[in-house]
Amino acid sequence: MTGMTHALSRYDYLVKQCLDGKALLTEPPLAQHFGHLLGKPNEITGNLSHQAILDAYIALVDGMKTTTVTPGPAEPGMTFFGQFVDHDITLDATSSIGRKIDPRSIRNVRTPTLDLDCVYGDGPDASPHLYHNKHKDYLLFGRDDCALDLARNAKGTALIGDPRNDENILVSQIQGAFICLHNILMSHAKDGTRAENEVSRMVHGVGGMSIRKTVWTETVVPRLMDFEHVRRTVRLHYQWLVLNQLLPSFVDKACIKAALAAPYVFGKHGPIMPAEFSGAAYRFGHATVQPSYKLRADEQPRDLFAMMKAFSPRVPDDDMHMNMFFDLEDGNTQMALPVGTKMAETLFALPDGIVNKSEKWGEIEVPVADAKKLALRNILRDRTALQLASGQQVARWLQAHAPHLGIKELKAPEALSSRHIDKTPLWFYCLQEADAGGKLTGVGGTIVAQVFVRLLRLDPESILNTDFTPWEGFGGADMTMGKMMKWIETNRDTIPLGHELRCG
């Protein structure tokens, strides 16, 4: 390939660097496996039968059901942005509620970094199906029947880096917004009048800033330089939003501040993606889901599961106006429910397309009516499949190893203690802590903040390791998802190749 030392290919160049002792990876790569934060599984012990334990958990989750819609502090789009972020950093393809799984053996199919591989895949060379065959810097997007849908193959399958981002029409449109952002910025990056183009100057300035300057020309094929500048620009703005809007929307500021000051309270060599994070603490989003949403201001709310048009083409009537989900400063934004121990009634009767039969929890049969309760599924997966530490156990560990955090231990709720269970499943415990303020705090806030800050600290190219400031066009230091979405909606029709990028 052109631009490589002595006309070496990228692979040959990597081999040469390794032989010369100058390989870029001078430190061990990030671990990609799950594991337990406290080092070992927490098996069910004691004299209670599994049936008695199951009955107690059913009583616990039945007390969570609510028909009262109480607005919380977060915009509703942040719930689904949080789901999008989850898909960027984790993919456990071995999920189960009744079979024991060693978290260390789970292969995390996603890279454990906030790098938007769910959008970009592995780039134009390694994931060519995501990109235009002639204009390889551009991601495919849109269909002739629905300009704002994801690009699809002949079978209707979305051409995206993570298929889960097509499981509902809200997350799919956040995915689409990031694809549009890339394509808009790419059209500016390739503008021949670069010196006069403010957006182009920004892209090439951010793309080549700080740490990447020392290695850029050695690791990037010249024809992909514009692409890499744009990808890095999008990634850094995305990371900034995760740290400065997503986390503060759902996590107490004190927990975030503590993580930034000391991001290794669980140890420097612990799992990068703890099972306690993916299987419990970060599942707080289930409590923030509204039973219905308006896609546009002039229409009636739609039931949550009516929008679960999974893995199939979307019609224009399903296009959402971003101002209904993110604050575009026009007063139309709906609100998410607060984080806490109340959940929308809708989530206690999952559709038949998701659960349509009874399930086994060990040797116990869980009736289909109970198996349809999302809260119960979370707890049973915790106790049998992942065997997570209880909320009380994590609280005591933090009290002993990180006393500066001032973590307080909560007692088991009455639904459990009255049935002789004194340890609370971690997922419920995190929600219980949040009841007072509508945000994760204590154990839950610490786990979530620590994981995200550690991911950013360990990534040498992240916003915590560069002098990055968001572009003024997105609001500068006051950037929000709403401001960025407004810019995308304003500019997405200006992409010169827009129609050529459609597929499906």
Q: What pLDDT does 194 receive?
A: 54
Give one word for 476, left, alpha or beta, with left for phi > 0 and alpha for psi -120 to 50. Answer: left
Model confidence, pTM: 0.90
- pLDDT tens-place string over residues 402-421: 999 999 999 999 999 999 99
Stretch (H or E) spanning 35: strand 34-35
Question: Can you tell me the mean pLDDT for 229-240?
Answer: 96
Q: What pLDDT does 110 receive?
A: 47
Q: What pLDDT does 193 receive?
A: 61
Q: With a cut of 50, say whether residue 150 has pLDDT above it.
A: yes
d(CA 102, CA 406): 31
Q: With a cut of 70, say whether residue 96 has pLDDT above it.
A: no
Residue spans of alpha helices (H) in 245-389: 247-250, 253-261, 275-278, 285-288, 368-371, 374-380
- The answer to which of 209-223, 322-336, 447-461 has the lowest mean pLDDT is 209-223
Question: Can you tell me the mean pLDDT for 81-97?
Answer: 75
d(CA 286, CA 82): 11
Q: What pLDDT does 310 receive?
A: 73
d(CA 234, CA 240): 10
- pLDDT tens-place string over residues 395-405: 999 999 999 99
Question: Can you tell me the mean pLDDT for 324-341?
Answer: 95
Q: With a cut of 90, say whether residue 456 has pLDDT above it.
A: yes
Q: At 33, phi and psi to the nearest 5?
A: -100, 155
- The answer to which of 66-80, 189-203, 225-239, 345-359 has the lowest mean pLDDT is 189-203
CB atoms within 10 A of CB 372: 22
- pLDDT tens-place string over residues 179-218: 999 999 999 998 766 556 889 989 988 877 765 555 666 6
Q: Identify the burial level of 1 via C-beta atoms within 10 angstroms of its C-beta, where 0-12 means exposed, 13-18 middle and 19 or more buried.
A: middle
Residue spans of alpha helices (H) in 221-324: 225-241, 247-250, 253-261, 275-278, 285-288
Q: With a cut of 80, say whether residue 34 has pLDDT above it.
A: no
Please choose, from the candidates 277, 282, 273, 268, the residue with its C-alpha nearest in 3D space to the C-alpha of residue 106.
273
Cα dihedral sign, 380-382-388-391: negative
- The answer to which of 7-21, 24-38, 286-300 has the lowest mean pLDDT is 7-21
- Angle (CA) 344 349 351, round 5°: 120
Which one has a higher pLDDT value, 238 or 268?
238
Q: What pLDDT does 215 receive?
A: 62
Q: With a cut of 80, say whether residue 481 has pLDDT above it.
A: yes
Which one has a higher pLDDT value, 55 or 191?
55
Give one word for 408, left, alpha or beta, with left for phi > 0 and alpha for psi -120 to 50. Answer: beta
Q: With a cut of 90, say whether residue 443 has pLDDT above it.
A: yes
Q: For residue 276, name the pLDDT band (cuts at 50, 70, 90).
A: very high
Q: Identify the burial level of 340 via C-beta atoms within 10 angstroms of its C-beta, where 0-12 means exposed, 13-18 middle and 19 or more buried.
A: buried
CA distances from 377 to 47, 237, 348, 428, 430 (A): 23, 35, 10, 12, 16
Question: Can you tell me the mean pLDDT for 231-249?
Answer: 97
104-125: string of b/e by CB count within 10 Å (b at 16+)?
eebebebbbbbbbbbbbbebbe
Q: What pLDDT does 498 receive?
A: 85
Q: With a cut of 50, say whether residue 314 has pLDDT above it.
A: yes
Question: Can you tell me the mean pLDDT for 91-111?
Answer: 47
Q: What pLDDT does 8 receive?
A: 47
- The answer to which of 92-106, 171-185, 249-263, 417-431 has the lowest mean pLDDT is 92-106
Q: What pLDDT does 225 receive?
A: 87
Question: Can you tell me the mean pLDDT for 435-456?
Answer: 97
- The tokens describing 414, both together, are 């009455």
Half-sphere exposure of 320 (CA within 13 A, CB side): 28
Q: With a cut of 70, say whether residue 18 has pLDDT above it.
A: no
Q: With a cut of 70, say whether residue 282 has pLDDT above it.
A: yes
Q: State the chain's mean pLDDT as an integer.
A: 88
- pLDDT tens-place string over residues 285-306: 999 999 999 999 999 999 999 9
d(CA 49, CA 343): 28
Q: What pLDDT does 455 receive?
A: 94
Q: How far apart are the first and last CA of the chain?
A: 33
- The answer to which of 72-76, 111-115, 378-382 has the lowest mean pLDDT is 111-115
